């Protein structure tokens, strides 16, 4: 099982190659290292957010609070960065901590109150939005990011590799380790397959669900911190364009939306695929309306090819 290539991941990487080929016919700069590194840098932000979304989807749940948790991460970290050198040092952990707190609320609702994740995360999203509106309007906080945030989002380290990409690589490696080499990861897959069985096997299912949502909240917020660093400032609607791509990237990478099945490599492929698709559509100067239509059609078509469920009779 382990050594057989997942058809979803193979086709996702195949599509990436096809996209690059189409792009290179349009302009040879699509294959240049600069362009590819730039794309990987932009993909890192989505990659960090999609990592959290993937853990939650593996549980068989969904996190719709991504948009405003991303915004909370960005806005709170820039606000804290306004409080002198201490604030600058605490900016990144504080932003992530706010995301973890919101994730804990999500997780508590799903794990302990047994509410459907779709509505809990929706409600948390609405509350987070309300908090940020009050925060901006009532306290007019600083919205410029700290040098450290700009460094991890836009800087370059060894061999000109973007720091954001290194950050994604570290988070990705940690996610792979967590999902495949720890009890926690095995329980996440077990819950996604059948929570009742996992519970009867003695797994602490509720704690694992709580921690998973907290993890997803923290990663979304960290994505927001990176985005704020990239754009040098945080804004209210900064997380809106990340909910659908994050879910789409996870699902296109072969993770079952019903939970219990999926591979991080697939999510990497999905993230790169979505980023490349968006980039190529905008470089080709395709009008916005057509971009939306192509984007939606590609996702449906790819899923129809390999993401289908079972017949009711099976």
Partner 1 sequence: MTRGDWPYWLREHRGTLLALAAFLLMFAIYGTNHPAGLNANVANTAANKGVLLAIVAMAQTLVVLTSGIDLSVGMVMVLANCLASTIVVGSPLQVVLGVLGVLATGALCGAINALIVIHGRLQPIVTTIATGAVYYGVALALRRVPGGDIDSTLGDALTGKVAGWIPASLVLLLVLVLVIWLPFRRSETGRAVYAIGSAEMAAYMSGVPIRRAKFAAYTLSGLLAAIAGLFVTCITSSGEASAANGNTYTLYSIAAVVLGGVSLFGGSGSAIGAIFGALMFRTIGDLLFVFNLEPLWQPLFQGLVLAAAVCLGALRLLRVRNRLDLYG
Q: Under the rule (CB under 8 A), what is the footprint of partner 1?
A: 62, 109, 113-116, 118-120, 122-131, 133-134, 137-138, 195-196, 199-200, 205, 237, 240, 244, 247-248, 251, 257-258, 288-297, 299-300, 303-304, 307-313
CB nearer partner 1, residue 6 or residue 240:
240
CB nearer partner 1, residue 123 or residue 161:
123
CB nearer partner 1, residue 132 or residue 226:
132
CB nearer partner 1, residue 181 or residue 292:
292
Shortest distance (Å) from residue 216 CB to partner 1: 17
Shortest distance (Å) from residue 157 CB to partner 1: 36
Nearest-angstrom CA–CA distance, 110 and 191: 13
Shortest distance (Å) from residue 70 CB to partner 1: 15
How would you write the chain as a 3-class SS string?
CCCCCCHHHHHHHHHHHHHHHHHHHHCHHHHCHHHHHHHHHHHHHHHHHHHHHHHHHHCCCCCCCHHHHHHHHHHHHHHHHCCHHHHHHHHHHHHHHHHHHHHHHHHHHHHCCCCCHHHHHHHHHHHHHHHHHHHHHHHCCCCECCHHHHHHHHCECHHHCEHHHHHHHHHHHHHHHHHHHCHHHHHHHHHHHCHHHHHHCCCCHHHHHHHHHHHHHHHHHHHHHHHHHHHCECCHHHHHHHHHHHHHHHHHCCCCCCCCCCCHHHHHHHHHHHHHHHHHHHHCCCCHHHHHHHHHHHHHHHHHHHCCCCCCCC
Q: Which residue from 306, 297, 313 is spatially nearest to 256, judged by alpha carbons?
A: 306
Shortest distance (Å) from residue 267 CB to partner 1: 15
CB nearer partner 1, residue 21 or residue 134:
134
Shortest distance (Å) from residue 92 CB to partner 1: 26
Shortest distance (Å) from residue 197 CB to partner 1: 9
Shortest distance (Å) from residue 261 CB to partner 1: 13
CB nearer partner 1, residue 215 or residue 247:
247
CB nearer partner 1, residue 104 or residue 176:
104
């Amino acid at each position: 099982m382990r050594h057989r290539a997942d058809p979803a991941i193979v086709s996702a990487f195949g599509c990436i190659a096809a996209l690059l080929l189409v792009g290179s016919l349009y302009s040879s700069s699509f294959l240049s290292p600069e362009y590819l590194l730039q794309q990987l840098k932009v993909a890192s932000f989505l990659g960090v957010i999609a990592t959290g979304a993937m853990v939650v989807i593996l549980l068989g749940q969904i996190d719709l609070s991504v948009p405003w948790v991303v915004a909370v991460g960005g806005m709170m970290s820039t606000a804290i960065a306004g409080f002198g050198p201490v604030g600058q040092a605490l900016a990144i952990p504080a932003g992530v901590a706010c995301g973890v707190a919101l994730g804990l609320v999500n997780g508590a609702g799903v794990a302990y109150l047994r509410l459907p994740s779709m509505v809990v995360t929706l409600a948390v999203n609405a509350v987070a939005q309300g908090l940020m509106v009050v925060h901006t309007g009532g306290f007019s906080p600083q919205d410029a990011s700290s040098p450290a945030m700009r460094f991890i989002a836009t800087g370059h380290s060894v061999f000109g590799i973007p720091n954001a990409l290194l950050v994604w690589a570290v988070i990705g490696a940690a996610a792979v380790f967590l999902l495949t080499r720890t009890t926690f990861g095995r329980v996440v897959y077990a819950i996604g397959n059948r929570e009742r069985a996992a519970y009867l096997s003695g797994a602490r299912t509720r704690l694992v669900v709580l921690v998973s949502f907290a993890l997803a909240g923290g990663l979304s917020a960290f994505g927001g911190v990176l985005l704020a660093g990239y754009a040098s400032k945080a804004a209210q609607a900064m997380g809106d364009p990340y909910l659908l791509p994050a879910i789409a990237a996870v699902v296109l990478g072969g993770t079952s939306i019903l939970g219990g099945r999926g591979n991080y490599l697939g999510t990497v492929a999905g993230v790169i695929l979505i980023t490349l698709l968006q980039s190529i559509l905008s470089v080709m100067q395709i009008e916005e309306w057509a971009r939306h239509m192509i984007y939606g059609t590609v996702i449906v078509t790819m899923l129809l090819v390999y993401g289908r469920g079972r017949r009711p009779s099976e």
